[in-house]
Structure 1
Amino acid sequence: MTNQAQHQRRGLFLILPGQCFPMRFVKPWRHWDFLLSEWAPNLLDDQHHQLKLVMMIQSLRSYAKELRTAGAKVIYHSLNNECSGDFPGQLERAVLEGSFSELAYFEIEDGFCVNAIADLAKSLGLNCNVVPSPMFLCSREVFADYLKNEPRPRMASFYKMQRKDLNLLLTSDGKPLGGKWSLDAENRKPLPKTLIPPAPGFPQPGKNTREVMALVKSRFAAAPGDADLFCYPATRYQAERWLTRFIDERLASFGDYEDALTTRSDTVYHSLISPLLNLGLLTPADVIRRVMRAHHRSPVPLNSLEGFVRQVIGWREFIRGVYHHFGVEQSSANFFGHRSELTDHWYDGSTGITPLDHVIRKTQRWGWAHHIERLMVVA
């Protein structure tokens, strides 16, 4: 059966929180029913920061609206409706009512959630179609092939492969622009005392978002963070405007101060797009395309351009591959044989180590810290 014929058959397409990809990625299944649920295991079966919960729920609700506007039939289960039952029951009911034998969903990144969905589908006798995720540029198959040649994976070799495969920042003879694959040594300037980075331009929560904030604050009261502080993009329109503002106002200086640590700015010149990529509101392909288009229109310093590209197509994709191939081993390993639990100081930011306490308190408040704070301070 051809892919076109398969798509024209009616089935159920499951969209999990965090899979709010642009409409072009679900267009082949436009004749199917779409199931979206705030009761999904990757939202409820893990402890998230309240601000992350607001983003996950509001982006899913906004995505349901996108689907309906595009003419799709949407089955939506809100946490506001306690009568909608649990997620397994919701999936079973949708399958039985639609007499579906086919279930499609995008690749799932969370290991525990993959197993939960697969077990549910098997128990319902469904034929599963796992759709490649646009959340990453390097497919799982390509990363597996990379490991055949690099059994001890290194980000440098993976990043070089990515640059070549994507034809990014290369000379006409395939060499790296600037003569080096990584300009990391040019990303280490301290933030001058007189320099104040521009504010990212946080969007004001609208009525729908405020309703989600209230829901999270009451239902997830024990979760870290405070939903009342929510100020992040949570719709595709907001995400695209957010990226535009980063490109226009902060990208040029990103490279110089990428590694800067300061208490004078929470965001410095960082993009803060990792949550938007992880929700599907932006895709890495679109981000890179827009950044390169902006650079060709108005060139930015190479250390900023390469430094940003390295984070998106290098580190982010590399760690995803490592997670899928080595995650189980890494999560259970204990190389140093440590046995002690982390003390409360690690959660309330009272260790007495000033840079560490600053990042912990910042993360408790905003649910976010930039990659140098995560890597060079906390880790």
Structure 2
Amino acid sequence: MTTLRLILGDQLNPCHSWFTAIDNQVVYTLMECRAETDYVLHHGQKILGIFAAMRDFAQRLNAAGHRVHYLSIDDPMNLNHLEDNVLQLAEQYQCQRIEYQEPDEWRVDLLLSNLKKRFAGAVMGVSSEHFFTERQTGSEFFGQKQWLMERFYRRMRQEHGILMEDNGEPCGGQWNFDEQNREPWRGEVALVPPLLIEHNHEALWQIISTANIKSMGQVDAKHFIWPLNREEALTYLDHFIEQRLLHFGRFQDAMVLDQPFLFHSLLSFALNTKMISPREVIMGAVEAYRQGTAPLNAVEGFVRQILGWREYVRCFYWAHGLEYQAVNYFNHQRQLPEWFWTGKTKMRCLAQAIGQSLDHAYAHHIHRLMIIGNAALLFGLSPQAVSQWYLGVYIDAFEWVEQPNTLGMSQFADGGLLATKPYVASAAYVNRMSNYCKGCSYQFKLREEENACPLNALYWHFHYIHRDQLMKNHRLSMVYRQWQRFDERQQQAILQRAETLLNDWQTC
């Protein structure tokens, strides 16, 4: 009995149990489909990276002795739809069975589930063997209670024995070290550049371009820097742990002009395509702490992002269903201004964060949340439009991790299901955590004036117009007390400045 096994572009895990033995009755297939490149406008580096990594994976499977059918984007037999291609190949190889690893997106899950209606043989999904949790873990853990990442994170630490002492207490006597992990970088320690393994994929990029696949952002196919297989991903991991983890925690929220990477690991693309596992990444960092080469605050902060937030967001995604993608608590409707696609704005923080996103298909979490996401929320942009942009622009963005982070955490579009308050900030935060304000066209200390940073008036305007929805939030009580300290003239001037900005949001 011949079996067709489908491998998706984010399932490039050579350690999966599928590959432990050679079976000539199994045909593995990977495919490049227009339906997958076109459902949202993607960054060119994301398309190039996934295609290149898939091709590398297929070559390695073939070299190991597995039967592989790779369907390239320029193959005349390519129907450019995942479901149709699978059925065509199943017929070609006279397969009686189709198997797939569970996908991580509702969209693909429904598509593959539909195979059972169209294929006469057996269709079965198996675990991707990647995550610490199962899809239903979050729902089972929280039940009808409020979702809180901290509760989930502590449970995960305890369950898996990560950064725990023998007496059941967390290492260092506390669960997190956030207070030590919020420093700006002012040159106190030298920046250690990340290890970048460059690839020349000009030929593949020409194939993609010839196929007329639309994309955004900059692509230097001759010097492509993202890891494309497990060996390269492990090299990135080793370099991060040995050279940069030491300072990661302290400066993980910092932002510096023309320094897009700072002390971050650049492992998210490899993780989200499953080249490496979260467990080995976490245990590598924990071992550095045990050996005394990385401080606890740095290691715990890193572990929190993966064992805590990454797993939590995935559980949240599967628990809240397809309906979640339409949430819009504030009924924000403005479409994205042109500067989301060009990075050309007088606001230096946005020009930097969006510019590096377009240049590198990457920005770290504070750029995404507190610069771009903050501005999008304050300008009242459509959360769905913002979510699609995030899904397309970042090389590590897949819907399971991007959608809750954007709609819930960044845009508060779910009204507080994921986050306990809207993450908005004035220019004071940007100035504290970066050097972006120096040399900006706007003045970060001003609120009302024409050259005042737009974030200041918009920050107060946001809280004012949404006061009925937000005043009862105990985490915002200080904000509303401060608003009341402004006299009526100041309040009206701030609101007028904000309205002027909102009427001309395309040209800020």
TM-score normalized by the length of structure 2? 0.68
Quick one: distance in 2 between partners of 1:110 and 1:356?
29
Deviation at 1:291, TM superposition (A): 2.4
Deviation at 1:77, TM superposition (A): 0.5
Change (3 A) 1:203 1:179: same
Partner residue of 1:37 out of 31, 51, 67: 31
Structure 2 partner of 1:215 = 207
Asked if 1:11 is matched to 2:3, the reply is yes
Question: Are the equivalent residues in 1 in contact too, given 2:115–2:123 (CA < 8 A)?
Answer: no
The 5 A counterparts of 1:316-327 are 316-327=310-321
Partner residue of 2:257 out of 263, 266, 277: 263
Asked if 1:329 is matched to 2:320, the reply is no
Quick one: distance in 1 between partners of 2:51 and 2:106?
21
Instruction: Report the residue type matching 1:23 in the other structure.
Output: C
Instruction: Report the residue type matching 2:99 in the other structure.
Output: A
Quick one: distance in 2 between partners of 1:346 and 1:79?
28
Asked if 1:309 is matched to 2:297, the reply is no
Quick one: distance in 2 between partners of 1:39 and 1:179?
50
Structure 2 partner of 1:104 = 99
Structure 2 partner of 1:205 = 199
Partner residue of 1:226 out of 207, 218, 223: 218
Deviation at 1:257, TM superposition (A): 0.4
Question: Are the equivalent residues in 1 in contact too, given 2:2–2:94 (CA < 8 A)?
Answer: no
Identity of aligned residues (%): 27
Q: What's the CA shift string for 1:286-332, capped at 9, x where partnerless?
A: 21232233443443100011000001111111111111222533321
Quick one: distance in 1 between partners of 2:171 and 2:220?
45
Structure 2 partner of 1:76 = 70
Question: Are the equivalent residues in 2 in contact too, given 1:267–1:370 (CA < 8 A)?
Answer: yes
Secondary structure at 2:220's aligned position in 1? helix
Partner residue of 1:20 out of 12, 29, 34: 12
Quick one: distance in 2 between partners of 1:35 and 1:317?
28
Deviation at 1:28, TM superposition (A): 5.6
Quick one: distance in 1 between partners of 2:266 and 2:5?
30
Deviation at 1:126, TM superposition (A): 3.8
Question: Are the equivalent residues in 2 in contact too, given 1:217–1:228 (CA < 8 A)?
Answer: no
Quick one: distance in 2 between partners of 1:30 and 1:361?
46
Question: Are the equivalent residues in 2 in contact too, given 1:135–1:277 (CA < 8 A)?
Answer: no
Structure 1 partner of 2:172 = 178
Structure 2 partner of 1:6 = none
The worse-fitting range, judged by mean Cα deviation, of 116-125 and 364-373 is 116-125
Higher relative contact order structure (alpha carbons within 8 Å, sequence separation ≥ 6): 1
The structure with more radius of gyration = 2
Which stretches of structure 1, 4 residues or more, deviate above 4 A after TM superposition? none
Structure 2 partner of 1:282 = 276
Deviation at 1:19, TM superposition (A): 0.6
Partner residue of 2:163 out of 161, 169, 182: 169
Deviation at 1:144, TM superposition (A): 2.6
Quick one: distance in 1 between partners of 2:352 and 2:251?
18
Quick one: distance in 1 between partners of 2:35 and 2:344?
33
Question: Are the equivalent residues in 2 in contact too, given 1:216–1:227 (CA < 8 A)?
Answer: no
Q: What's the CA shift string for 1:145-191, capped at 9, x where partnerless?
A: 1122x632111111111111110011112111112211111101110
Instruction: Report the residue type matching 2:70 in the other structure.
Output: Y
Deviation at 1:29, TM superposition (A): 7.0
Instruction: Report the residue type matching 1:216 in the other structure.
Output: I
Instruction: Report the residue type matching 1:312 in the other structure.
Output: I
Deviation at 1:51, TM superposition (A): 0.5
Instruction: Report the residue type matching 1:161 in the other structure.
Output: R
Question: Are the equivalent residues in 2 in contact too, given 1:34–1:74 (CA < 8 A)?
Answer: yes
Q: What's the CA shift string for 1:80-108, capped at 9, x where partnerless?
A: 32343333443122212333232111111
Change (3 A) 1:93 1:134: same
Partner residue of 2:58 out of 52, 56, 64: 64
Deviation at 1:194, TM superposition (A): 5.6
The worse-fitting range, judged by mean Cα deviation, of 82-91 and 313-322 is 82-91
Deviation at 1:251, TM superposition (A): 0.6
Question: Are the equivalent residues in 2 in contact too, given 1:41–1:113 (CA < 8 A)?
Answer: no
The worse-fitting range, judged by mean Cα deviation, of 276-285 and 88-97 is 88-97
Runs of 5+ consecutive residues of structure 2 not aligned to the other structure? 374-508
Instruction: Report the residue type matching 1:114 in the other structure.
Output: D
Structure 2 partner of 1:147 = 142
The worse-fitting range, judged by mean Cα deviation, of 107-116 and 53-62 is 107-116
Instruction: Report the residue type matching 2:80 in the other structure.
Output: D
